[in-house]
Homo-oligomer: A and B are copies of this chain.
Amino acid sequence: MTMPHPSRPNPPGAALEAALYVDDLPAAEHFYGTILGLDTVARVEGRHVFYRVGDTILLIFDPAATRIGSDNAQLPVPGHGAMGQGHFCFAAEAAEITAWRDWLETAEIPIEADFHWPNGARSIYFRDPAGNSLEFAEPRLWDG
């Protein structure tokens, strides 16, 4: 008698965390916390600041502090850490995108692109202080 092989579980149903990397955490905190108004859920000076975006946590790391994994035997978090420009997109309905464009311009954050996709959904793009490409887009972009 052989042991049955496990079968593939059902695909995961939600994104719990996504990550971006920055070289200046205080600048990132001003941007994500004050300009975008995200709620901070965790913060370790010189290492990371984490924000709530609905059911997903947006993790902002300084890769210089995370590239080597944890040496805490109880919490052996593996190392990671990217360089260059990442990407993250917030869901926003059409009227919210207009409001965000107005607010970002008031905050002197340049809008790098503003267009409608072939299915009609609008996206606006801008940068965080580290150069990551951020977007607000209508969720219907991915319908169907």
Residues of B within 8 A of A99 (CB): 6, 9
Number of copies: 2
Residues of B within 8 A of A133 (CB): 78-80
Task: Tell me which of A58, A80, A103, A115 has the highest count of chain B C-beta atoms within 10 A of its own C-beta.
Answer: A80
Could you give 8 example pairs across A and B, Cβ below 8 Å?
A: A9-B37, A13-B54, A15-B88, A16-B135, A55-B91, A79-B85, A82-B86, A83-B84
Describe A's contact surface by its main secondary structure: mixed
A44 sits at the interface (CB 8 A): no
Residues of B within 8 A of A76 (CB): 113, 115
Contact of A84 among B17, B37, B81 (CB under 8 A): B81
**Interchain CA distance A115-B88 in the complex, whole Å:** 28
Is A17 a contact of B87 with CB atoms below 8 Å? yes
With A15-B58, A16-B91 known as contacts, the answer to whether A115 contacts B75 (CB < 8 A) is yes
